[in-house]
């Protein structure tokens, strides 16, 4: 039987996040747009993260679970990219969570506006979901920018440009990752290394000035304790 195709691949790297994982995956299940696959990439967790993933896989055939040898956040994202079937990619960190219309808004933006990527604002929240602050990139009122303009804006301290550099809060055309462009393994701040090369390939990007991605600010800020500081 032919495997079902999806418009969007959501890649979720996972490492010892049992405390937050159910909230993250529930937020994906509750999306108002549902034509996506979810790749749960477990980077060698030793807690109950795998069991939580299997629960979602058993209930929803859009979810696929992979467990691999620990290799770090970049290696885990690359593992997902290499197995994704969708025309567009979304990365979601497994301790964060999405507003219900996150995928719909980003997918609609990239589909209808002939852009290579869409970026949305974020809400920084604490572990209980209390909003600490919102960042909607108010440094610019533009909706459409070139990839070069996005790169320049990311270096503007007033813009909180770090949220432009991160892999999450975006949807990407998969062609941006052609010719084996991947996250660099073993880097301390891996998003910052792929970002310029990725956005140099972007002819036009769209910014949605709404906080659609909930970024959880944890006291324990390391998603992959072996090498990657997340927050």
Rounded to whole angstroms, the Cα distance separating 11 from 92 reads: 6
The count of domains in the chain is 1
Identify whether 1 is part of a domain. Answer: no
Gyration radius (Cα) of the chain, Å: 16
Is residue 3 situated within a structural domain?
A: no
The pLDDT confidence band at residue 5, using thresholds 50, 70 and 90, is confident
Classify residue 178: in a domain, yes or no: yes
50 domain residue, yes or no: yes
Note down the domain range covering 115.
Answer: 8-229
Lookup: tokens for 65 = 């679970």
Q: Tell me the mean pLDDT in the region 65-93.
A: 98
Is the residue at 2 inside a domain?
A: no
Residue 195 lies in a domain: yes
Residue 225: pLDDT over 50: no
Q: Give tens-digit pLDDT for 163-189.
A: 788 999 999 999 999 999 999 987 766
pLDDT above 70: residue 158: no
Give dist(CA 68, CA 220) in Å, integer: 23
What is the Cα–Cα distance from 73 to 43, expressed in whole angstroms?
8
Residue 105 lies in a domain: yes
The token pair that represents 213 in the structure block: 């991605």
Q: Please check whether residue 62 lies inside any domain of the structure.
A: yes
Mean pLDDT value across residues 14-33: 98
Q: What is the CATH number of the domain that holds 166?
A: 3.90.550.10
Q: How confident is the model at residue 222 (pLDDT cuts 50, 70, 90)?
A: very low
Q: What is the mean pLDDT of residues 192-208?
A: 93
pLDDT of residue 227 exceeding 70:
no
Calculate the average pLDDT of the chain. Answer: 90
Other CB atoms within a 10 A radius of the CB of residue 132 amount to 11
Count of all residues that appear for the chain in the document: 231
């Amino acid at each position: 039987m032919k495997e079902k195709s999806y418009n969007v691949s959501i890649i979720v790297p996972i490492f010892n996040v049992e405390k937050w994982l159910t909230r993250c995956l529930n937020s994906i299940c509750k999306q108002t747009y549902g034509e996506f696959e979810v790749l749960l990439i477990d980077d060698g967790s030793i807690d109950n993260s795998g069991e939580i993933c299997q629960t979602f896989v058993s209930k929803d055939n859009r979810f696929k679970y992979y467990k691999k040898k620990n290799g770090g956040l970049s290696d885990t994202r690359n593992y997902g990219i290499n197995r994704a079937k969708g025309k567009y990619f979304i990365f979601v960190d497994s301790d964060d969570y999405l507003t219900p219309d996150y995928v719909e808004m980003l997918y609609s933006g990239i589909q209808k506006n002939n852009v290579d990527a869409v970026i949305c604002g974020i809400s920084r929240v604490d572990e209980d979901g209390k909003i600490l602050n919102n960042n909607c990139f108010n440094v610019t009122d533009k909706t459409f920018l070139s990839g070069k303009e996005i790169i320049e804006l990311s270096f503007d301290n007033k813009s909180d440009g770090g949220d432009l550099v991160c892999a999450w809060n975006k949807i990407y055309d998969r062609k941006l990752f052609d010719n084996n462009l991947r996250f660099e393994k073993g880097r301390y701040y891996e998003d910052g290394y792929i970002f310029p090369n990725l956005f140099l390939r972007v002819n036009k990007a769209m910014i949605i000035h709404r906080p659609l991605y909930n970024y959880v600010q944890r006291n324990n800020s390391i998603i992959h304790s072996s090498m990657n500081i997340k927050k």
